A and B are shown apart, each in its own frame.
Chain A
Amino acid sequence: MKETKPVMSGAEIFFECLKREKVEIVFGYPGGATLKIYEKLYDVDFLKHILVRHEQGATHMAEGYAKATGKVGVVLVTSGPGATNTVTGIADAYMDSVPIVVFTGQVATHLIGNDAFQEADIVGITRPITKHNFLVRDISELASSIRKAFYIASTGRPGPVLVDLPKDVINSVCEFEYPEKVEMRGYKPNLLGHQNQIKKAAERIRKAKRPLLYVGGGVIMSGGYRELHLLAKENNLPVTMTLQGLGAFPMSDPQSLGMLGMHGTYWANQAVNNCDLLVSLGARFDDRVTGKIDAFATGAYKIHVDIDPTCIDKNVVVDLPIVGDVKHVLAELAAEISSPPKIEEWWEQIHKWQEECPLHYEKHDGKLRSEFILEKLSEFTKGEAVIVTDVGQHQMWTSQYYKFNHPRSHLTSGGLGTMGFSVPASIGAAFAIKDRPVISISGDGGFQMNMQELITAVYHKLPVKFIIINNSFLGMVRQWQELFHAEKYSFTDLSDSNPDFQKLGEAFGMKSFFTNRPEEVDSILEEMMQIKDGPSLAEFRVEKEDMVFPIIPSGATIKEMMTKRLNPKEMI
């Protein structure tokens, strides 16, 4: 006898699929096209729905949740403006390979293309910024599309997937069957690296005199940090990390050289420039890392491990590509190396560079500086907190002064550089992370880009610590204006146009702090850490015109690295 399948509505199928995908939390905002889903949601008890205040906030929350946990973040919004508001978050997730699935409502199929109320071609709009997207045109395709969406988002090189759900599809009924396996002949990520290539790489590492591991976000995403640790420790290899890679290897370990690239440490960049073997692990040779391509690690034999073949030879042509899951390749690589390389001289040289030009800032003039706050924060939390930064100077200072000791504890918008990321992303992370403090760090500019979500944190009593490093400027842009744009401070001065952040925090119902004095930083941080039944906010009013050093100007080489503010004569 034929097995009978249950007949379900589109909305019921939708939630049944989320249940099978073990979704625990959805960030969303209801609207006309998703009313039926929200009607059904009323009876759903296996997941938590978080009502956001703006759909962009929902996508960043889903990103924060996904980056902190490694699980897929889920967003549910309505058609038209609801859908278009997710675009920045989707683009952000695409650039940083964050697994999220965005469900958008859509007008009924017979109205598509008619300029119907709240209609937007979101599948067309998001095609270049999603790993894949679906327009579900018939209810018979609903379950399989959702199954594929989660599979595509979370496997291979992760990324955002959008599923567009027309209203009539959601309202109609169909027999429900959840596909056990995903069958896509065009999508089969290659997980195992090529054996011979791995053997060659191991041999190169064994023989290297000046090796360097260049670690990107891929090591964290693949869960390969234990394997990385093993490989680095057993062979005494120096490790430098990209912005997204911070935390993949403990930064308090002496083998960590910190971040490389434009605002990376002097010694990490010197090491890149002078190494004879560069092993790139889950990183993509971004222009903020390489600077001038022709001058990047010119003397090095380059090995590139990445799961995405398009990353290989895209920016920098490498000598030995290994396409595969970096966790798997790292494990094989560690097992394959018969004896550690002899690199004492190399380490001596690196230590010399470290002494030559350490990170520094003015500590003795009594003024409050961002670097000081971040250094304090690092000491205070012992590198154990989940730090969610926004975009700009504070983000770079965090990468320099906060000693990340764990993977998935540094969440930031790297590739797209989305201001307004930190506030919602920290909220998304805080829904999942309960055993460690979640700290959002923003500048005064970026904070104002998604501050509507503060109420989401207050309402859900999430103990996020919102820290605003307020220099009354769009500081990074100001820095570039000073250095490269004739000191024309065009529209970057917010001194007269910033709100009172402390009062703002209080209006949202948060305990809020303010200081512009270094000696008060400790006590404020301490008090914030004690607040566990809801969010708190602190505005640190810092020096207005401090700059992030070192800096290698865009497209330049380490020779052009500036390590301190020069007077105008020196600059020429």
Chain B
Amino acid sequence: MKHTISVLVENQFGTFNRVVTMFSGKGFNVHSMSIGETESPEISRMTIVTEGDDKIIEQVVKQLNRLIDTIKVVDLSGSPKVERELALITVFYQKGNRADIISVSNIFRGNIVDINNKTITIEITGPPDKIEAAVNVLEGYGIKEMARSGTVALKRGEQVKGDKKELQQNNIQV
């Protein structure tokens, strides 16, 4: 089963590499991994989509926690969350089907971000399954190239605030 794991790490040289090295060294699957800044400049958030049975996911979480530079690890699977991914998809068009492609883009609430005399580039944002659906349809027209950001995710509502509070408390406690 796929799991989305959110990891807060120290925003330091080599931290991303440590996580990647751990995943490859332990033979864990990675579907996507993204990293970016958080509200606090010295902390980065990694969102990792991985796959495995309960025993493997338990090890993934423990091994992530074991890294010195990780501050907090949360398996978001099973809790209410917001998940988003961004894809840029460049599709070939012919004279007759340009409007069709644009309407597909509209159905998925995509934006046309580039066009020339052969190709059209669409930006689509949404949960990973929505991106999958869009890619499936657009494949019919011929995809020239595609770039996907990987999933980013946050817990919904109150719990996010709780996280932050806990973090601040941690800072004081240390």
Contact = CB atoms under 8 A, between A and B. Distances in A.
Contact of B13 (A135, A308, A310): A135
Contacts of A137: 13
Given A124-B17, A127-B21, A186-B71, A313 B170 contact: no
A185 B13 contact: no
Interface in A105-134: 123-124, 127-128, 131-132
- A contact face: mostly helix, strand, loop, or mixed: loop
Interface residues of B, number: 24
B170 A185 contact: yes
Contacts of B68: 131-132, 152, 184, 186-187
A317 interface: yes
Contacts of A123: 14
Contact of A183 (B21, B63, B174): B174
B144 interface: no
A127 B18 contact: yes
A187 B63 CA distance: 13
A309 interface: yes
A132 B14 CA distance: 11
B25 interface: yes
B22 interface: yes
Interface in A184-223: 184-187
- The contact size tier of chain A is 20 to 34
Contacts of A310: 59, 62-63, 66
Contacts of A367: none
A312 B174 CA distance: 26
Contacts of B22: 128
Contacts of B18: 127
Contacts of A186: 9-10, 67-71
B89 to A, nearest CB: 34
Nearest to A137: B13
Interface in B9-66: 9-10, 13-14, 17-18, 21-22, 25, 55, 58-59, 62-63, 65-66
Given A187-B68, A313-B55, A317-B55, A128 B25 contact: yes
Contacts of B25: 128
A185 B65 contact: no
Contacts of A128: 21-22, 25
Interface string A421-459: 000000000000000000000000000000000000000
A314 interface: yes
Contacts of A132: 68
B117 interface: no
Nearest to A129: B25
Interface in A296-323: 308-310, 312-314, 317
Contacts of B62: 309-310, 312
Contacts of B63: 310
Contact of A127 (B13, B17, B70, B174): B17
Nearest to A312: B62
A62 B29 CA distance: 36
A142 B67 CA distance: 21
A186 B10 CA distance: 8
A186 B71 CA distance: 4
Contacts of B21: 127-128
A183 B170 CA distance: 11
Contacts of B65: 309
A85 B62 CA distance: 31
B171 interface: yes
A154 to B, nearest CB: 14
Interface in B51-109: 55, 58-59, 62-63, 65-71
Contacts of B71: 185-186
Contacts of A312: 62
A183 B10 CA distance: 13
Nearest to A308: B66
A312 B70 CA distance: 20
Interface string A149-173: 0001000000000000000000000
A135 B59 contact: no
A183 B68 CA distance: 12
Given A128-B25, A317-B55, A135 B14 contact: yes
A85 B99 CA distance: 64
Contacts of B9: 186
A553 B14 CA distance: 41
B174 A185 contact: yes
Nearest to B171: A185
- Most chain B beta-carbon contacts within 10 A, residue among A123, A127, A132, A135: A127
B22 to A, nearest CB: 7
A232 B10 CA distance: 44
Contacts of A127: 14, 17-18, 21
A41 B22 CA distance: 37
Nearest to B25: A128
Interface in A497-519: none
A137 B13 CA distance: 10
Contacts of B59: 310, 313-314
A313 B59 CA distance: 8
Nearest to A131: B68
A183 B58 CA distance: 27
Contacts of A184: 68, 174
B142 to A, nearest CB: 40
Interface string B153-174: 0000000000000000011001
Interface string A47-66: 00000000000000000000
A185 to B, nearest CB: 5
Contacts of A317: 55
30 contacts: A123-B14, A124-B17, A127-B14, A127-B21, A128-B22, A128-B25, A131-B68, A135-B13, A135-B14, A137-B13, A185-B71, A185-B170, A185-B171, A185-B174, A186-B9, A186-B10, A186-B69, A186-B70, A186-B71, A187-B68, A309-B62, A309-B65, A309-B66, A310-B62, A310-B63, A310-B66, A313-B55, A313-B58, A314-B59, A317-B55
Interface of A: 123-124, 127-128, 131-132, 135, 137, 152, 183-187, 308-310, 312-314, 317
Given A135-B14, A185-B171, 16 more contacts: A124-B17, A127-B14, A127-B21, A128-B21, A128-B25, A131-B68, A135-B13, A137-B13, A185-B71, A186-B9, A186-B67, A186-B68, A186-B69, A186-B71, A309-B65, A314-B59
